[in-house]
Structure formats: C-alpha cells, structure tokens
Amino acid sequence: MPGMPLTDARAVFPALVVAEADPAADARALEALAEWCVRYTPWTAVDDWPAPGGGAGLFLDITGCAHLFGGEAALLRDLRDRLRGFGFSVRLGLADTKGAAWAAARFMAAGADEDDDIALLPEGSQRQLLMGLPVESLRLPPAVVESLKRLGVRRVADLDALPRAPLAARLGREVGKRLDQALGRVPEPFTPRAAVEPWRARIHFAEPIARTEDVEAATLTLCRDHHPRLEREGLGARRLVLELFRVDGTVIRRTAGTSRPARDPAHLARLFKEGLDDIDAGFGIESMALTLTALDPLGAEQTGFTRGAGTAPDAAERAAETARLLDRLRTRLGEANVLRPAPRESHVPEAAVTTVEAAGGGAPEAWPMLSPRPSRLLPRPEALEPVEPAAHAGAPPAVFRWRRRAWRLAVAEGPERIGPEWWRTPGGIPAPSVVRDYWRAGDEAGRRLWLFRKGSDWFVQGVFP
C-alpha cells in the first residue's frame, strides 16, 4: 500500500523484502520500454505526470496503427500480455484523448481479473464515462484536488457543472484546461520521444551508374555526408555497411570494419576500395546507402594541418597511420589474417603464442628469455624416420629421414625437458611418456632443426635460422 511506513509494513508481514528506490534506474527502464513500444506505433512518450501511489506511465498514440494488430482491443490485449511477460503489472486505457485515456487506465481499469485491466472507451463515449470519475482523474496538482474536495466537488460531473470564470479565478486556469483536454474540447499536444536518427546516408543518381570510379566517388561522398555528424557527436565508425541498389532491384552489400574509430572520409572510403573492384553493376546502380552499424567515441583530431615532409611523425600520428594500414589489410585479407603475436604464460612451445588483434590497445610485453627458440615452428610436430642411431643414448639419431630427405646430424645440443602443464590437465602429474626432450641439432651444412623425443619417437618441431 503506497505511503505506509516501513515499520508498519514489517509489523503486518515480518518476512517483507525491502528494496531501495532507484528513481534513475526506473526512469531508464521506462525509457527503454517506451522505445520497445515503438513496435506498436512510432509515437510513444513517457508520462511525466507524478502518478498517484507510484507507478509510471507511457503514452502511445496508436492513431492509424490499430488495424495492423487486428483492432484496438486486440492491440491492447497483445500489449498487456507482452508487458506481463516482462513481469510488469499493467493497466491500460484507450480513449479519444490523452487525458481520458490516462483517467481510464488509472481509474477504470481495476486490474482484478482477466481483461479487467483494460479500459477501452469506445469512440465518443468518453464524456459520459468520465463524468462519473473522481476529480483526481484529471491530472490536477494535489493542492487543487484538495481545494475542490473542500468545495464539495468530488466528481468530474460536479466540476463540469460549475461556471468557468469563478473557478478559474479561484483555482487557476489549470482546472478548466485539464477538463477540456480530457473531453477533447481543446487539443493536448503529444510530444513523442525524439527518434534516434539512424546513421545512414543515401545518395540517388539521376542516371544509373556502372563504372567503378563513379561508385568509388559516390562512396566518398557518402563518407563525407557522415563526417559532420560524427565530428559533432565525437564519434568514429567501427563497422560500415555499404549498399548498392541496382536498377533490377538487387542489392549488393559490402561491409568494412576499422580497428579503431575513424571518421576521416578518405580513409573510410578506401576501406571499400578493394571490395568494389569486382562488383557487377548489371544495368546500373540507381542509389547507394552507407550505414554505420557500430560507433565508438573518438576525440577531436586535427586534420589537414600538413606537416613538412622532413619531420618525423610523432607517436600518435604513427599509431593512427598504422591503424589505417591495418584496416586496409584486414578488409582485404580478412580479420583473422592480420595478427600481432603476444606471449601467453605457458612453457609448452605451441601454447606460448597467442595472437592479439593487431593495433589493439597496449603493446604486449616481451617473452621471457628462455633458451633458444626456433624462428619457425611447425604447426604440428612431424615424426622423423631414424636411419642410423645416435652415438650416445638419448641423443637424436645421427641420420634420419624427414620430408623426403636424409639429414645427417653433425652436432646436437640438449636435452631441454619440457613437460605438459599438469596444473592445467585434470589428470594430475603426467606419465613420463608425454614429457618431451628437446634438442637443437645441426647438420654438416649448418642447417639447424629443433627436434624432440617423446618416449622412443623423434619429432621435428622447428627450424632455426
């Protein structure tokens, strides 16, 4: 019950769960809900009138939209069921005016049982239905309601019967205005939420274009169209979708991404350059659109202030330049094929390298300097075929075949024992058969390989320079 002190409530129901009010979060949730309601009508707004007894409200102007949902009653039922599904308790009112709908939702939809929480005022009937409601239903300030009650005015009908001039002189113009608004005598403006302007630029051609150069020029124009707004809002594009609408109705889509937010039109246009070489324009392209699907904040940057050819670029400039290069490489080669290696804490050679997105945040730290490591590591160790055993037990075979060639070792150094990481494997301490003994071995010509023995088998894993 609204207004009840917490101690009283606890006395009635000791197991009460208490939650602090968080008006900011409530407001955000309501805003999000208003945005969700755009599925019914583009005109939605948050009710900013302080509701009696808590509870928040939304206004939806469904003029011209109800038939899409099978009529007003069906729309209301659909809306109620979905909102209930979200876990809200809902009361809905529908009327010819905003004020009447507000009153209907708050004072006529009781919410007791099925379909009781919907009050649908048929067209033209709101006058007689409103007359029976209390004066609170007119969205009047509490002080005004109090004064009216002291005067014996309890129902809307009582208020409507009073002469206007003395009423306005005594209680202000608000009372008459609200009454007229509820009854539809004066219009009440409806201020919908500001729609989020999509990040989309379009260009239409008087004559269809087909040449790659023209498409590239149009792409640059589209990038330029986005630039002022990006700059104003301090944002940079991360993902872009370019759509080319062909005369025959098909759409060609090209996507591009940037490794860090960018808004330089020339750079953004260059991202599409590679993808536009092979487009099939058919009978021509009649319009193009560029949509930015992901954006990130980007501070103001100074452009066009060309430095002299001789001066060295500073670190920030260099980072920006590198990022632009990586964007171009990534657009053509694919995201996964432009990498920067980074160390990983593991002493298993294959697992010691991970790759980070090149030009990602901070520079990765260096590897711990272990014993020598090869400059090439085979993705999978390859078994070798011993031909002649080693002079000493445990050393790699003196002659062996690998990759269809005989290798005659002259020198070998080792072993460096590398075991599996038992703390990562669930089985505990591993069997000796999975421990690897690594050897650096060189043949007579000075070629150097990285070999290891596992059990009694020998493998090649790397190549030293």
Partner 1 sequence: MSDRRHLDRLRRRIRAIEGGAREDGAVLALPSALAPVAGALPWGGLPLAHLHQVVGDPLDPAEAATGPAAALGFTALLAARLAASKGAAVLWCVRRGSVDDTLYAPGLARLGLPPDRLMIARAADDAEVLWAMEEGLRCPALAAVIGQARDADLTAGRRLQLAAEAGGVTGFLLAAGGRAPGGKGAGTTSVAATTRWRVVPAPSAPVGWPGIGPARWSVTLERCRGGLPAHWTLEWNDETGDLGMAAPLRDGSLDAPERRRA
Q: Which residues bind partner 1 (CB under 8 A)?
A: 313, 317-319, 321-322, 324-326, 328-329, 332-333, 337-343, 349, 352-353, 358-359, 363-367, 369-370, 372-379, 402-405, 407, 410-413, 440-449, 462-465
> Does residue 72 contact residue 47 with C-beta atoms inside 8 Å?
no
Cis (ω within 30 of 0) for the bond into 415? yes
CB of 209 to partner 1, least distance (A): 26
CA distance 64 to 428: 69
Q: Which residues lie across from 134 on neighbouring strands?
A: 155
Identity of the residue, 260 or 440, whose beta carbon is nearer to partner 1 in the bound complex: 440
Q: Which residues lie across from 417 on neighbouring strands?
A: 437
Identity of the residue, 334 or 426, whose beta carbon is nearer to partner 1 in the bound complex: 334
Identity of the residue, 105 or 441, whose beta carbon is nearer to partner 1 in the bound complex: 441
Identity of the residue, 261 or 462, whose beta carbon is nearer to partner 1 in the bound complex: 462
Q: 376-383 and 457-464 as β-strands: parallel, antiparallel, unpaired? A: antiparallel
Identity of the residue, 203 or 378, whose beta carbon is nearer to partner 1 in the bound complex: 378
CB of 276 to partner 1, least distance (A): 15
CA distance from start to end of the chain:
81
> Does residue 263 contact residue 269 with C-beta atoms inside 8 Å?
no
Identity of the residue, 204 or 380, whose beta carbon is nearer to partner 1 in the bound complex: 380
CB of 270 to partner 1, least distance (A): 10
> Does residue 203 contact residue 285 with C-beta atoms inside 8 Å?
no
CB of 250 to partner 1, least distance (A): 27
CA distance 25 to 460: 61
> Does residue 84 contact residue 90 with C-beta atoms inside 8 Å?
yes
Identity of the residue, 47 or 413, whose beta carbon is nearer to partner 1 in the bound complex: 413
> Of 233, 205, 229, 232, which Cα lies nearest the Cα of 219?
205
Identity of the residue, 281 or 342, whose beta carbon is nearer to partner 1 in the bound complex: 342
> Does residue 240 contact residue 256 with C-beta atoms inside 8 Å?
yes
- Residue 57: enclosing H or E segment and its boundaries? strand 57-60
> Does residue 373 contact residue 363 with C-beta atoms inside 8 Å?
no
CB of 22 to partner 1, least distance (A): 44
Residue 22, C-beta contacts closer than 8 angstroms, at least 6 positions apart: none
Number of neighbouring beta carbons within 10 Å of residue 440: 21
CB of 377 to partner 1, least distance (A): 4
Q: Which residues lie across from 89 on neighbouring strands?
A: none
CB of 378 to partner 1, least distance (A): 6
* Residue at token pair 């109620």: 80
CB of 205 to partner 1, least distance (A): 30
